[in-house]
Structure 1
């Protein structure tokens, strides 16, 4: 595979630089700086909870969920009994909140889970759950500010609402131009090869259903 494809799949880090202790795509630093400065002027301590995640880290998360070592949650944050499901259904249940290795937008370095750290109370711990960004949640004001500000700085929310694939993730923002460039490298054949050649649980069910999973969970996002 070409370097650009490996980068988009989370298998090459040569496109990344350090940004406040996080790895990000070199092309998004200027936009992040501008968004960060604007947030601070509005009274928010813009903080990145998660940025780049490579293929192997995503595989560890995936395999832990597939094997039952980590809980798989439904849209109500209730634990799913995966022992009652077929492997294909387990794959779908995991993909509601956790991307298939090779398809996570966090591989790009252009996507970030963000919050306003000064709005988190001392007794609270960050959960990255929708209620935190909804009315009466600690980050509601920050979410409203993001709604009105993201596009000015070249960002959007790919998972702004549930579309039958990935659950709503109001904390997840994406740099429009850079993520599109990276996404152009994420072909079905490249994902197939990456999963086929790495240790990913549920491999047979994934590969058999990959075209449908791709359209339901990977490309089924908001318009930028």
Structure 2
């Protein structure tokens, strides 16, 4: 079995040495074989499962965070509609951003284990994937593929992948498009902590809203970063 040793730098998005390209998207090399198998199963079922995103660096997540905190990118409500951030307190703005976007250092995309997917067979080649709730409802353009994935996961045929944000637990909004490779993600979950995140964010002077984030970090970590082990497919956690 492939070595799944992870470091703090990998978990924080500061080490991409374990990454390889999958159809042009960087991911951890450990997920390439199971992802290839999942895509092959999807093809047999009539779907073309493709990646919108995979690995994301600390610096990229920091840029996304700051753009949202400064109003240069939309901040969305739970239904996917843009908010007027000028009406929000700093605490409200932080929570609104974290409903859809992670703090730098706290994104599962840092790990290379997590991917955002869509069905290329369901849309024209020039379609711009938005990753919105409307796209992935049962009636949405990608609904059929996600219903198929529901069945695969329920029957233990997901090749180790699962949805960490399948339901609303009061933190990150449900993201049907977000898949995670359990054996690697569980290892990363064992390394990430509120203490590690605090140490890193304390050193990032360019993080917008940093003082307010640090003041609430333990609460934010519990609400938006922690994914209960009960959400993982038990048979694949054992592989870690």
> Which TM class, normalised by the smaller chain length?
over 0.9
Q: Tell me whether 1:194 sits opposite 2:197 in the alignment.
A: no
Greater displacement, 168-177 / 75-84? 75-84
| Aligned-residue RMSD, C-alpha | 1.5
Evaluate the alpha carbon distance shift between residue 94 and residue 123 of structure 1 in structure 2; reply closer, same or farther with a 3 A threshold.
Answer: same
Whether the 8 Å contact between 2:50 and 2:118 is mirrored in structure 1 is: yes
Match of 1:216 in 2: 223
1:37 to 29, 35, 40: 40
Match of 2:210 in 1: 203
TM-score, length of structure 2 as denominator length: 0.88
- d(CA) in 1 for partners of 2:208 and 2:104? 10
Q: Tell me whether 1:12 sits opposite 2:7 in the alignment.
A: no
Whether the 8 Å contact between 2:113 and 2:181 is mirrored in structure 1 is: yes
Gaps of 5+ in 2: 1-5, 233-240
Q: Tell me whether 1:50 sits opposite 2:53 in the alignment.
A: yes
TM-score, length of structure 1 as denominator length: 0.94
Q: Deviation digits for residues 83-111 of structure 1, max 9, x if unmatched?
A: 22221221101000011111100001010
Number of matched pairs? 222
2:78 to 69, 75, 79: 75
Whether the 8 Å contact between 1:155 and 1:173 is mirrored in structure 2 is: yes
Q: Deviation digits for residues 46-76 of structure 1, max 9, x if unmatched?
A: 1000101001000000000001111101012
Quote how far apart the aligned CAs of 1:136 are: 2.1
Quote how far apart the aligned CAs of 1:220 are: 4.3
Deviating runs (4+, > 2 A) in structure 1? 121-125
Q: Deviation digits for residues 20-59 of structure 1, max 9, x if unmatched?
A: 1111111111111110111111111110001010010000
**Secondary structure at the residue paired with 1:34?**
helix
2:114 to 93, 101, 111: 111
Quote how far apart the aligned CAs of 1:189 are: 1.6
Quote how far apart the aligned CAs of 1:131 are: 1.6
- d(CA) in 2 for partners of 1:120 and 1:161? 26
Q: Deviation digits for residues 185-205 of structure 1, max 9, x if unmatched?
A: 111121111111122111001
Whether the 8 Å contact between 1:120 and 1:126 is mirrored in structure 2 is: no
Whether the 8 Å contact between 1:73 and 1:80 is mirrored in structure 2 is: yes
Whether the 8 Å contact between 1:165 and 1:220 is mirrored in structure 2 is: no
